[in-house]
């Protein structure tokens, strides 16, 4: 994690891969949350190194594994289920970001939706403490929608995000960005209506 935080992507990949190999040698499942989380970080390293296809393949694997875990019939505690949903949301958020940069807008939108569903599920499982994550997911979804010209849907996401701000207790800068995004989308809609 130190190399990862320092932006030394090659070194971070080597360390994460060694950790994954060690976990697997000691009997952990390839579907273990810790392995999936390290795989998301490896994919992030690939993204930063400009290895977009490798990053996309990694994110895709992580999302598929977490979706498969959610569909399994195992009885899980709220904490275990929350961990799975949070990891799924994180993987989908990163996946959508890379898909947007790669110009795969429809796929990015699908993963933004998945991230939003995960955010709503976390609030259901954890209560108000997970609201900040949902608000940030709504903001990212709104940005993706606005980039697609879907300003009305973006407005709905931002209005919901703003309504949840008091419970989210986000830092002022984050809340200000969301309010600014709302004002920008409202201005675009007003301008579009004036032209018609």
pLDDT at 63 over 90: yes
- What is residue 23's predicted lDDT score, i.e. its pLDDT? 92
Q: 43 and 63 in contact (C-beta within 8 Å)? A: no
pLDDT tens per residue, range 142-192: 988 888 888 899 999 999 999 998 888 888 888 889 989 899 998 888 888
- What is residue 41's predicted lDDT score, i.e. its pLDDT? 94
CA dist 46 and 36 (Å) reads 15
- What is residue 36's predicted lDDT score, i.e. its pLDDT? 93
- What is residue 147's predicted lDDT score, i.e. its pLDDT? 84
Lowest mean pLDDT among 15-19, 73-77, 133-137: 73-77
Of the two residues 195 and 118, the one the predictor is more confident about is 118
Average pLDDT taken over every residue of the chain: 89
Quote the pTM value. Answer: 0.83
- What is residue 49's predicted lDDT score, i.e. its pLDDT? 94
What mean pLDDT comes out for the span 127-144? 89
- What is residue 76's predicted lDDT score, i.e. its pLDDT? 82
- What is residue 171's predicted lDDT score, i.e. its pLDDT? 86
What mean pLDDT comes out for the span 10-31? 91
pLDDT tens per residue, range 70-82: 888 678 888 888 9
Cβ neighbour number for residue 73 with a 10 Å cutoff: 5
Write the DSSP string, 3-69. HHHHT-HHHHHHHHHHHHHHHHHTT--TT-HHHHHHHHHHHHHHHHTT-HHHHHHHHHHHHHHHHHH
CA dist 110 and 180 (Å) reads 25
What mean pLDDT comes out for the span 48-55? 93
- What is residue 73's predicted lDDT score, i.e. its pLDDT? 61
What mean pLDDT comes out for the span 48-63? 94
Q: Which long-range contacts (CB under 8 A, 24 or more apart) does 111-115 make?
A: 111/63, 112/137, 112/140, 112/141, 112/144, 113/141, 114/63, 114/88, 114/89, 115/89, 115/140, 115/141
Of the two residues 193 and 90, the one the predictor is more confident about is 90
What mean pLDDT comes out for the span 50-66? 94
């Amino acid at each position: 994690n130190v190399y990862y935080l320092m932006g030394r992507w090659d070194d971070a990949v080597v360390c994460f891969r060694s950790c994954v190999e060690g976990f697997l040698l000691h009997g952990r499942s390839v579907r273990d949350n810790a392995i999936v989380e390290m795989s998301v970080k490896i994919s992030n390293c690939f993204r930063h190194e400009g290895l977009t296809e490798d990053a996309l393949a990694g994110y895709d694997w992580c999302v598929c594994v977490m979706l498969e875990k959610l569909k399994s019939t195992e009885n899980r505690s709220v904490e275990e289920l929350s961990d799975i949903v949070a990891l799924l949301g994180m993987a989908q958020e990163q996946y959508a970001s890379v898909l947007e940069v790669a110009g795969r807008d429809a796929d990015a939108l699908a993963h933004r939706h998945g991230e939003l569903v995960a955010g709503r599920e976390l609030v259901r499982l954890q209560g108000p403490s997970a609201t900040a994550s949902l608000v940030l997911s709504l903001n990212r979804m709104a940005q993706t929608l606005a980039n697609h010209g879907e300003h009305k849907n973006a407005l709905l996401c931002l209005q919901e995000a703003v309504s949840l701000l008091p419970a989210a207790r986000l830092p002022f800068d984050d809340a200000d960005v969301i309010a600014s995004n709302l004002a920008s989308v409202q201005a675009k809609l007003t301008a579009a209506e004036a032209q018609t």
